[in-house]
A and B are shown apart, each in its own frame.
Chain A
Amino acid sequence: MNGKSYIARSSQIASRLLGGEMVIMSAGDPRVFSLNEVATVIWEAADGRTPLDEIIANRICAEFEVAPQVALKDAEELVQELSSQGILLVSDQPIVRIASSPRETP
């Protein structure tokens, strides 16, 4: 994957924002994940239409004091981890199907 990758939340998860942290449970395999503040911003921006490097530039670097290259590297590691757990989808093309709401999935 690279900065031009598109990311989208899986529809097979349940998630809710609690105290600024995103708590996520994989529906097919009930394990619980929690994301810190920065990861939560990436998660919420994972609409399947916005490339990862745009998310980093427009959301992460705009809201947090971090260099773009560092932020992108960290984000790619996060995306790979969440993707390997099946809760985030990654593609070289825009992803049409997305979860209904980033803050509370039905």
Chain B
Amino acid sequence: MERGDFHAEWDPAAGSGRIRQTANPYSIDSVLRILHTLLLATDGGFLVHAASAVRNGRAFLFAGLSSAGKTTIARLAPPDATLLTDEISYVRKLDDRYSAYGTPFTGELARLGENVRAPIGALYLLAKGRENKIEQIRPADAARGLLENILFFARDPKLVKLVFHAACAFTDHVPVRRLTFFPDNRVWEMIA
């Protein structure tokens, strides 16, 4: 992997690699995002622009691009919720079950996610509104909404197809809904 500010190598067989970078905190962050996108794709997982938190033993993801409300909903989370991230969620597939993991990728909240994992209960596509509501959406819209938020770092057709099918399989197994919310903590009454 090569960019103006870093050169990185990864040996899949050894499970290790090296990074040479300029002195800034962002290069390692970028390398980790790229590397984990590639690693997760081979096993049906992905990184997605989504806040996530664990509540009552299940992880809930709140997906949306910039300004969608990821940090807002993370900030509104009740004390019994464990924050995984307010920016980039880590989704891994193991034995046909999907789990979310805490990540070091932070958004405006600038708070590291807890180093825990939990099975995913639902993924919500965020929309802001005057009232809180959760709506069912068509499977095609669920896949499209998820794909629009998944991180892509390569134009390699094989990788794109892997991620595409990973997203479609995810929507087959995990409820994907549209969550319209008004930015106060009542929205979390609907998440459990």
Residues of A within 8 A of B (CB): 12, 14, 16, 18-19, 21-23, 25, 27-30, 32, 34, 104-106
Contacts and interface: CB of A to CB of B under 8 A. Distances in A.
B27 interface: no
Given A18-B140, A23-B144, A30 B152 contact: yes
A29 B139 CA distance: 22
Contacts of B147: 25, 30, 32
Interface string B150-163: 00100101001100
* Most A Cβ at <10 Å: residue of B140, B144, B155: B140
B136 to A, nearest CB: 11
Nearest to B171: A18
B141 A30 contact: no
Contacts of A104: 165
B138 A14 contact: no
Contacts of A12: 157
Nearest to A26: B160
A27 B161 contact: yes
Contact of B140 (A29, A34, A105): A34
Q: What's the dominant secondary structure at chain A's contact region?
A: strand
A105 to B, nearest CB: 7
B157 A27 contact: yes
A29 B141 CA distance: 19
A64 B140 CA distance: 21
B143 interface: yes
Contacts of B182: none
B148 interface: yes
B168 A23 contact: yes
A18 B152 contact: no
A82 B160 CA distance: 19
Interface in B92-119: none
Contact of A25 (B142, B160, B171): B160
A22 B168 CA distance: 11
A19 B157 contact: no
A32 B167 CA distance: 12
Contacts of B161: 14, 25, 27, 105-106
A14 B144 contact: no
A18 B155 CA distance: 24
B171 to A, nearest CB: 7
B164 interface: yes
Contacts of B165: 14, 16, 104
A104 to B, nearest CB: 8
B98 to A, nearest CB: 17
A21 B171 CA distance: 14
